[in-house]
Amino acid sequence: MFRSLHMKLVLIMLLLITSLMAIVGAFLMTSVTGFYIDEFYQQMESVFGDSSSTSGAFVSSLREEAAQEDGAQKLQNMIESRAGDLGLNSRTRNYYILDGRTGQYLTGSEDKEAFDHLQTTPNLLTARNSIASGTSVVGDRSDITAGYMDVAIPITGGDNSFIIYIYDNRDTVSELNSQLFLIIVQALLVGLLISVLLSFLLSKTMITPIERLTEGAERVAAGDFSSTIAVESTDEIGILTTTFNDMASVLQDTLEAVENERNKLDTLFLHMTDGVVAFASDGSILHSNPAVSQMLGKEVSFYDYDELFGQQFPFQQVMSLQRPDFVSGELTVGGRILELYLAPFSDGEDGGVMAVLHDVTAQRKNEEMRKEFVANVSHELRTPLTNVRSYAETLRDSEDIPRDMENSFLDIIISETDRMTHIVQDLLTLSRLDSGRADMKMVRFPFREAIDSVCRAVELEAKRRGHTLVRKYGAALPMITGDRSRLEQVMMNVVGNAIKYTPDGGTIEVDAGITGQNVWMEVSDNGIGIPKQDRERIFERFYRVDKARSRESGGTGLGLSIAREIVLRHNGSIALTDHDGPGTTVRIVLPIRQEENGEDHHE
């Protein structure tokens, strides 16, 4: 109950008021008593003179009166005459005339019985002792705690000695103090009431903004940064509220930035080609991106670490690594080669293992192809080089070679050199196409004319081989955009192959037409054909179905790969077409217009 600031404030106010009133009350009451005692002795002094001596005029006349026979009565008269100055009243302050030697009651403002009820006070004893010893000391010391005030004046006149004893029972001061106490208690009650009201008011002004701040903090804790708390004062709480609002807005900005970063990472995680899986410390999957399932060929969320990678790297081994250490290995899954990297991502209970999978299938394949290519090039060049060298050596070492044999050797050397030049030229063309350095000189030209010129060029060779060259295409072929000489090179290669790989006396058909936005050209022969398993591969570099026959006919195995590169650069396609019967059909498709910039419109 007293935990709330509100109650604490009320309690503090109550304690403050009560202690204040208690101090004021005690101080007041002590002061009043002190004042009353001072007043008493001042009155006594004004009548009897200085307390240390009894040499005042009134005391002298008292002594004279005391010397007379009815001294006690005389003294009484004298005292009565100064009753006003002495503040005597029969209720609280009385006087008694006592016998100086015995201390017996002689007369007074009260009767003997009343005097006998009084105790013997130190002042009375002092006065009696002073008379006995012949001195005249006034006993007038009074204690604030004594509960009474008194003064005893020894009066000696002639043989007579008396003690004038004035006794005040302090009832007046007690009554005054009771009155004061009552007033203080009443004041205390009113003060308490006011302090309760005040503390309520004060706490309202102090606590309301604090309560509002608390509500605001609760809203922020719940993630609602939209509402700011109104600042209604410039005091410390006002400053705190402003600071809180600033803090909330900075927090919102920071959270937004963090959220943005997280979204970026999420998007990256979702779309990255590398597979990423995070495992918890018990080996279960925390996160995984779609690439992982794709690479491993199964939905990984149904598995745990041990099932996925446990055989290669035990979980505890990876967990015991110190960051940034990691382990790596290679997996082969469904014909894919995957590089696997495993590392712990954090220490302790909340830690786990992060696995990254990198698909290196294409890279490995490229490397393989590159190696194969280099081996092929070396092989293709070595054969003619060996031939050239051996014929050259024979010519050098043999002295009497017949002239016609020498010529035939030299012819072989020349043809092998041509072959090598041919290979090197083809390789250069391919490398230019690969690196994008081979510019296509795009022009508009009649498609039909290009086919015609290719057919004319091979006509003689076809005739020599006894082939029948059939041009099936009609006159209605459009103008197309492309690099004319390179496209003619492609056509030449395809028609040349048909002639080369068809036994003498075959039939080679050339057809062309339009489909949609494209033109097509088909070259069919009834030659040796291409076995099913080789059909996909004949566009690869140096790939030949029958190496001996290709080499014999001067082929390099690069013709179709160059053709494919050129056609692709024209956004077209080149492929084998299935057809009935023996032989081969190659189909080239080219767009009529090229979309690319820089198209040259020379016609």
State the nearest-atom distance from the C-beta of 558 to ligand ADP, in Å: 6
Residue 12 vs 375, nearer CB to ligand ADP: 375
Q: Which of 569, 600, 603, 571 is nearest to 486 (CA)?
A: 569
Of residues 211-270, which lie at the interface with ligand ADP (CB under 6 A)?
Answer: none
CA distance 107 to 99: 9
Question: Is 480 or 499 the residue whose CB approaches ligand ADP more closely?
Answer: 499
Backbone angles phi, psi at 358, to 5 degrees: -125, 120
Q: How many residues at the interface with ligand ADP, by CB under 6 A?
A: 23
Footprint (CB under 6 A) of ligand ADP, residues 495-554:
497-498, 501, 525, 527-530, 538, 543-546, 550
559 binds ligand ADP (CB under 6 A): yes
In the bound complex, what is the minimum distance in angstroms from residue 409's beta carbon to ligand ADP?
Answer: 25
Binding string, 561-590, against ligand ADP, x = CB under 6 A?
A: x----------------------x------
Least distance (Å) between residue 400 CB and ligand ADP = 39
Q: How far is the CB of 375 from ligand ADP (least distance, A)?
A: 17
What part of residues 355-374 is at the interface with ligand ADP (CB under 6 A)?
Answer: none
**Cα Dmax for the chain:** 203
For 363, the 3-state DSSP assignment is helix
Instruction: Report in angstroms how near the CB of residue 368 gets to ligand ADP at its nearest.
Output: 20
CB atoms near residue 325 (< 10 Å): 10
CA distance 150 to 163: 12
- How near is the Cβ of 426 to ligand ADP at its closest, in Å? 8
Question: Toward ligand ADP, which CB reaches closer, 315 or 539?
Answer: 539
What b/e string do you get for 101-121 counting C-beta neighbours within 10 Å, with b at 16 or more? eebebbbbbbeeeebeebeeb
Nearer to ligand ADP, 9 or 423 (CB): 423
Q: Quick check: 557 binds ligand ADP (CB under 6 A)?
A: yes
Contact by Cβ (8 Å): 40, 87 = yes
Least distance in angstroms from the C-beta of 580 to ligand ADP: 16
Q: How far is the CB of 288 from ligand ADP (least distance, A)?
A: 45
**Residues of span 46-105 touching ligand ADP by CB under 6 A:** none
Query: 209: closest CA among 228, 194, 229?
Result: 229
When binding is defined by CB under 6 A, the residue of 17, 318, 560, 588 that contacts ligand ADP is 560
Contact criterion met (CB below 8 Å) for 65 and 161: no
Q: Confirm if 95 and 165 have CB atoms less than 8 A apart.
A: yes
Closest to ligand ADP by CB, 488 or 525: 525
**Residue 534 vs 599, nearer CB to ligand ADP:** 534
Q: Which is nearer to ligand ADP, 157 or 557 (CB)?
A: 557
Helix residue ranges per DSSP H, 106-235: 112-116, 122-132, 171-221
Does position 458 interact with ligand ADP (CB under 6 A)? The reply is no
Q: Which residue has the tokens 């990198």?
A: 358
CB of 359 to ligand ADP, least distance (A): 30
- The residues facing 327 across adjacent strands are 342
Q: Which is nearer to ligand ADP, 173 or 487 (CB)?
A: 487
Cα dist from 383 to 379, 415, 557, whole Å: 7, 12, 14
Phi, psi dihedral angles at 352 (to 5 degrees): 180, -165
- Nearest-approach distance from CB 422 to ligand ADP, in angstroms: 9
Question: For residue 155, how many C-alpha atoms fall within 13 Å in the half-sphere facing its CB?
Answer: 32
Closest of 385, 414, 375, 433 to residue 559, by C-alpha: 433
**Residue type at 59 in one-letter notation:** V
> Of the two residues 13 and 566, which places its CB atom closer to ligand ADP in the complex?
566
**Least distance (Å) between residue 525 CB and ligand ADP:** 5
CB-CB neighbours of 160 under 10 Å: 21
User: Minimum CB separation from ligand ADP for residue 424, in Å?
Assistant: 14
HSE, CB side, 13 Å, CA atoms: give it for residue 292.
Answer: 23
> Of the two residues 93 and 564, which places its CB atom closer to ligand ADP in the complex?
564
Among 555, 567, 574, 588, binds ligand ADP (CB under 6 A): 555
Question: Toward ligand ADP, which CB reaches closer, 342 or 558?
Answer: 558
DSSP per-residue letters across 27-42 = HHHHHHHHHHHHHHHH
Q: Which stretch binds ligand ADP (CB under 6 A): 15-23, 34-42, 483-491, 494-502?
A: 494-502
Shortest spacing between CB 494 and ligand ADP, in angstroms: 7
Smallest CA-to-CA distance from 444 within 484, 490, 491, 488 is with: 484
3-state SS class at 503 = coil
Tell me the closest approach of the beta carbon of residue 386 to ligand ADP, in angstroms.
20
Query: How far is the C-alpha of 462 from the C-alpha of 471, rounded, in Å?
Result: 13
Please identify, using beta-carbon distances, which residue of 54 and 584 lies nearer to ligand ADP. Answer: 584
Contact residue for ligand ADP among 241, 493, 526, 594 (CB under 6 A): 493
* Residue 145 three-state SS: coil
| C-beta of 315 vs 501, nearer to ligand ADP | 501
Type of residue found at 179 = Q
- Helix 559-569 to helix 484-500 angle (10° resolution) is 150
In the complex, which residue's CB is closest to ligand ADP?
555
| Cβ-contact 91, 167 below 8 angstroms | no
Q: Is the Cβ of residue 140 or residue 416 nearer to ligand ADP in the bound state?
A: 416
Q: Which residues bind ligand ADP (CB under 6 A)?
A: 493, 497-498, 501, 525, 527-530, 538, 543-546, 550, 555-561, 584
